[in-house]
Amino acid sequence: MSHHKDPGRLKAGSLPVVQDFYERYPYPPPVESLDKYRALWQDPQKKRADYHLYWPSAPYCEDHCILIAGCGTSQAAKHAMRWPDAKVVGIDFSANSIDKTVQLKRKYQLDKLELHQMPIERVSELGEQFDQIVCTGVLHHLASPDIGLKALRSVLRPEGAMQLMLYAPYGRAGIYMLQDFCRRLGITASDEGIDELVAALQLLPPAHPLQNLLREAPDFRNPAALADALLHPQDRAYSVPQLFEFLENGGMTFGRWINQAAYEPACGVMEKIPQISRLSALPKAEQYAATELFRGSMLTHSVVAYRNDRPGGPQQPEFTSEDCLDYVPIRRADTICIQERLPPGAAAVLINQSHTFKDLVMILDHAEKNLYGGIDGTASIGDIIRKNPVSTLSADASCRFFERLWQWDQVVFDQSMQTSKSSRHAKAM
């Protein structure tokens, strides 16, 4: 793991090194068209699934206030396009990245998008509070990620949600080896340095830990992406325990993983290990830590986090009471249901295409497939069970099936009906 000791240092006579790096190599590589992105987000169910991933118990709305912190070249414009009624604010200290976003704002008339060239550490100077903060691929590049997280928390509304993506150490071992190699040989983030590096990578031995990434990440073919990974002047990574500690120090609570199946003992290969009952008996954070070690190749961690003083806590679904019958399951966008060439005894196979681990394939029997078929984004679990009178599954077993769909990242739940029912109930008492 690499962690520079003098991170805020200035490049001779100019900008701090990280800012200078992103002025020269803005990331992600700039795009001119968001047409495809806009088409993808026309689907109202995709939007509902996205909303309830962060706020399972709040009624759906589209006019929330979003901060994209370290927005790079296009992320803020994409969010403004995805949520035209929302106020979206993008900040980044790279003028070049902000310029690229301004071009997209003009091209697509994203009138509610506001952009500021400023460091995250000074975000409170905006004098605004946000319902959602998106900060992906950024905090691990700060001189002090802790200061960055606290700055973001200070502008998050009490009921707001934060989406963070941070690097994970074990899957990135090959990257850190090559970063060290480049430092030792004086290969720097310049066009010449990148060309030299591309040439050297052609000769990298087949068993090098970086090879998996070179094979599987198409991103790596782009020079800016290569520089962002291998020639970055400042980058650190967080194991699961370090991530939980980081959140706690920043006054935040873990809500969920954006994709949680890879961390769940109940999903895929983890379910089959002889130690599964010992693993499942551990506290949740310990389960995740062990799973990260066993899986061995996670590159990043993407989490939803809340303020530690959030009214009502993280409000993730619970399946221990009858309340879950009121949850409305909504299919997640990247999921597909396969019904051909199935393994023996299977009626369908569910895959979330955003999963990177190939063992995360959920197999359904006939009764489960019927329940799954009842999901339309408006029917509650109770409705779906009632509409399936011939089902061989009990109500309990059906609820457990919906819990599994949730664990496997096949659905999120709109729990707002259940929440409004229980607050009516509380008022009546």
Ligand X SMILES: C[S@@+](CC[C@H](N)C(=O)[O-])C[C@H]1O[C@@H](n2cnc3c(N)ncnc32)[C@H](O)[C@@H]1O
72 touches ligand X by CB under 6 A: yes
Q: Do residues 99 and 129 lie in contact, with contact meaning Cβ atoms separated by under 8 Å?
A: no
Q: Answer yes or no whether residue 7 interacts with ligand X by CB under 6 A.
A: no
Residue nearest to ligand X (CB): 72
Q: How many CB atoms lie within 10 A of CB 299?
A: 18
Shortest separation between residue 96's beta carbon and ligand X, angstroms: 8
**Tally of CB atoms within 10 A around 22:** 24
Provide the 8-state DSSP code for 109. Answer: T
Beta-carbon contacts of residue 242 (< 8 Å; ≥ 6 apart) = none
CB of residue 282 to ligand X, shortest distance in Å: 32
Beta bridge partners of 119: none
Closest contact distance (angstroms) between CB of 247 and ligand X is 18
Within 226-285, which residues bind ligand X (CB under 6 A)? Answer: 228
| Binding-site member from 34, 49, 81, 138 for ligand X (CB under 6 A) | 138
Is 153 within 8 Å of 182 (Cβ atoms)? no
Which parts of 77-136 interact with ligand X (CB under 6 A)? 92-94, 97, 119-121, 136
Phi and psi based region of residue 5 (left: phi greater than 0; alpha: psi -120 to 50; beta: remaining):
alpha
In the list 105, 140, 141, 355, the residue contacting ligand X (rule: CB under 6 A) is 141
SS3 374: coil
Closest CA to 144 of 121, 164, 116, 118: 121
Beta partners for residue 257, in sequence order: 303
Least Å distance, CB 148 to ligand X, is: 6
* Out of 7, 56, 90, 137, the residue judged to bind ligand X by CB under 6 A: 137
- CB nearer to ligand X: pick between 49 and 142: 142
First to last CA, the chain: 56
Report DSSP state, residue 321: S
Q: In the bound complex, what is the minimum distance in angstroms from residue 356's beta carbon to ligand X?
A: 17
Would you say 75 or 370 has its CB closer to ligand X? 75
User: 94 vs 391, which CB is nearer to ligand X?
Assistant: 94
Q: How far is residue 227's CA from residue 169's CA, in Å, rounded to a whole number?
A: 18
Determine the Cα–Cα distance for residues 51 and 48; give it in Å rounded to an integer. 5
Q: Does 75 bind ligand X (CB under 6 A)?
A: yes
Does residue 331 belong to the site contacting ligand X (CB under 6 A)?
no
CB of 196 to ligand X, least distance (A): 22
When the beta carbons of 227 and 262 are compared against ligand X, the nearer one is 227
What are the DSSP E strand ranges found in 229-347? 252-257, 300-307, 328-331, 335-338
The site that binds ligand X (CB under 6 A) totals a number of residues, namely 21
- Residue span binding ligand X (CB under 6 A) among the ranges 33-41, 138-146, 267-275, 324-332: 138-146
Q: Which residues, numbered 165-204, are part of the site for ligand X (CB under 6 A)?
A: none
The separation between CA 361 and the C-alpha centre of its own chain, rounded to angstroms, equals 20
**What are φ and ψ of residue 65, in 5° steps?**
-110, 120
Question: Which residues between 21 and 60 bind ligand X (CB under 6 A)?
Answer: 22, 27-28
Q: Is residue 145 part of the contact set for ligand X (CB under 6 A)?
A: no
Cis link prior to 44 (omega < 30° from 0)?
no
Span near ligand X by CB under 6 A; candidates 67-75, 277-285, 373-381, 396-404: 67-75
> C-beta of 23: minimal distance to ligand X in Å?
8
Decide if 35 contacts 396 (C-beta within 8 A): no
Which CB sits closer to ligand X, 138 or 362?
138
Report the interface residues with ligand X, using CB under 6 A.
18, 22, 27-28, 70-72, 75, 92-94, 97, 119-121, 136-138, 141-142, 228
